[in-house]
Amino acid sequence: MTLRPMSLTRKFAVLMVLFLTLQGAQLWMGLGGMARLGEEAAFINAAGKQRMRTLLLAVLARQSRESDEARASILEEIDRYEETLAVFERLASENESLRAPAAEVRAAWESDLKPLLAGIDSVDADEAGVLAGEIEALAPAQAARIDRLVSLLEENVRNDSRQLTIRHTAVIGVSMALGAWAVILARRKVTTPLRRLVAATREISGGAYDRRVAVSSGDEVGLLGGAFNDMAEEIRERTRELTVLQEAISDVASSLEIEALLQKLVWHASILVRADLAALVVLHPETGEIQYFKSSVPPEAFPVKTLPTGRGLLGVILKEGISLHVEDAAKDPRFGGLPPGHPPIRNLLGVPLILRNKLVGELIVANKEDGGSFTPADESLLTALAFQSASSLENARLHSRAVEMATTDGLTGLANRRAFEARLEEEVDRSERYQHLFTLMILDIDHFKNVNDTHGHPAGDVVLRELARLLKAAVRTVDFIARHGGEEFVILLPETGGTNGREVAERIRARAAKTPVKLPDGTEISFTISLGVACYPSCGKAAPDLVDRADQALYIAKQSGRDRVCLYHETLKAQLEKDPDRITAMLNENVESLYPIVSAVDIKTSFSRDHAEKVERIAVRLGGALGLSADEIAALRLAGLLHDIGIVTISDAVLNKAAPLSSEEWEAVRRHPVTGAALLEGVRMLRQIVPIVRYHHERWDGKGYPDGLKGEEIPRLARILAVADAYSAMTSDRPQRKAWTAEEAREKIIEGSGAQFDPEIADVLQRISGENGGR
């Protein structure tokens, strides 16, 4: 059995009863003691008189011989003596210590004095004198007996006074203890808890909403503390809700992208009212059909877009525009069931999104956390969030429309130039981050001016729209198409290299040439397009450079007869072959131009595509294994890319010749290191790599070219580059042979160690190849 804790009121009531009881006892003891002391004092007084009366009787007995008046007085005093003895006996009956002395006084009186005194009245004077003598002899003894009785009585008085003092002191002590207990109880149970309560109230008012008071009793103060804690928890929860609501409204209001706004709204709704599930339905402003749906459940598991308006629990809100609170959804007759795999719905709370008195959607939460129920406070919070979110949704729609208008070409429906420039920057950043390729093509309608001049501008618009449709049908969904201006269009092909980019461009060109366009007047015309293609990063690593180089390729396509595709590499290759010194000029203008230059040089041969990049990678690995400094490795990297730059002056026929070269052709090939070094000599930022490029075909035994250097006369970085160049060439197809395997190439390098190659570097190649599985 559990006892209920005593309340504070009951505790103080008990204290008061005890205190009053003690005071009553003290009063009773005081009154009783005073009465007893009064009686004892009266007894002492009477005893004193009795002693005097005893002596007086002796005197009266002597006088009785001569005076009848004395004899009469004796009789009166006998009566008084009897009355006093009766008082003695009454007091003695209450005090055992007085009984024997009182009895002696009575016995002596009855046996001696009283008979003698009574006999005086009946005898003559002589006999009265005899009796008086006897009385005088007995009176002192009787007085002594009375004195003993008085002494005992005085001792009793002293004892009673002492006992009364002790009792009063005890009562006062207990009263003081009860008072102290009351003070301590008041301090512990009232004052201190109330002070803590006041301090906690101040802390909570200052924002410390997690502050609580310790509740250690079940009395009124404890109940007050418990009520305070409940209130503090309620304040904390309401404050949390208002904070979450404010953050949610602010977060949603700052979102101008519709998808992001919907996702945030669903997330904030579930956090705000502590729900496991949340969903948002947005209606189309014109048709009233479901336009957007966002849920915390994967969309494939909740196909709410198929829900007809007015059906099911969600449909009730959409149809009636009212809040809906259902505690047992499964038992509600309006519940339309759930798709397979959807989490069960226990309870549900939905509120409408209303903007300018028009229903624009609904916000729903389901399954209150920890099995609880949604409250009116939850509904108020969700309604406030929905009210604010309706305006934010409208703002996002307006922003989306504005962005669409600002980034969409009104004629073709494609992205416009502004959108293209932003997307190109994004693609450059993404490709740089993940080391991906992409292709940019710029295309232009051939002789478009003639279409406008002959058939009018409306006909030209028809051609532009038809080309836009054709382009969208010809590329992937991940590709990006935009109208660049006039009759010029651009296409971005993510993760697509130059070869595949050319194939796509050729396919588009051919499809355009085969697609007639029907004009408004019924006339059918044909048109062709020209395309310029540039690739990242080989044609450039900056967005403006890529656009410029694709545009240069388009210009060459136009100049070459139109209705064709031209890659920037091919354009640049032709320009560099015609004017090799342009290499120096381009590199001085921007050292990043080395990438398109290297790519243009690489395509001079059918077998050396990406040869420069391969040599660069091998050389850098060798340099790292040899412990080169960061500056030396940077120089190796540049030299690896530019080591064959001199072959720009050699004809493609010689470079791709399968038969043995003539002496003149061989001499031209042997000059390319010198030519490359000369071109780089004029580039101030690249002069440190000139010796590496010039001497990378020298041999360890002195039989190389161009200067026949031997051993350590050859710069160390050039010796490293020689091994990397030879290994790359051996593992690539050549006009005279197929590529060797990595193992065969390593064997050839080892065979040439000490003759063609530096033995140390040849050994390092063997070692690092073994560490990388033979690669």
Which residues are identified as catalytic? 487
What are the residue ranges of helices labelled H in 656-715?
Answer: 663-670, 672-681, 690-694
Q: Phi first, then psi: what are they for 460, rounded to 5°?
A: -60, -40
Structure tokens at 704: 């190389």
Separation of alpha carbons 502 and 347, rounded Å? 59
Distances in whole angstroms, Cα of residue 570 to Cα of each of 157, 575, 675: 141, 9, 21
Separation of alpha carbons 7 and 587, rounded Å? 95
Residues 55-63: contacts with CB under 8 Å, at least 24 apart: 55/139, 55/140, 55/143, 57/81, 57/113, 57/117, 57/135, 57/139, 58/132, 58/135, 58/136, 58/139, 61/116, 61/117, 61/120, 61/128, 61/131, 61/132, 61/135, 61/136, 62/129, 62/132, 62/136
- Torsion sign, CA atoms 64, 66, 70, 75: positive
Separation of alpha carbons 229 and 238, rounded Å? 14
Q: Are strands 438-445 and 358-368 parallel, antiparallel or unpaired?
A: unpaired
Closest CA to 318 of 355, 281, 287, 284: 281
- Torsion sign, CA atoms 85, 86, 90, 96: positive
* DSSP letter (8 states) at residue 643: T
Whose tokens are 């054709």? That residue is 470
Closest CA to 432 of 585, 609, 592: 592
* Tally of CB atoms within 10 A around 78: 18
Separation of alpha carbons 681 and 674, rounded Å? 10
Strand order in the sheet with 275-283: 290-295, 275-283, 358-368, 348-355, 324-326
Q: Phi first, then psi: what are they for 367, rounded to 5°?
A: 60, 80
Contact 536, 428 (CB under 8 A): yes
- Per the document, the length of the chain is 775
Distances in whole angstroms, Cα of residue 600 to Cα of each of 346, 542, 656: 68, 18, 15
Contact 119, 131 (CB under 8 A): yes
Closest CA to 761 of 732, 725, 734: 725
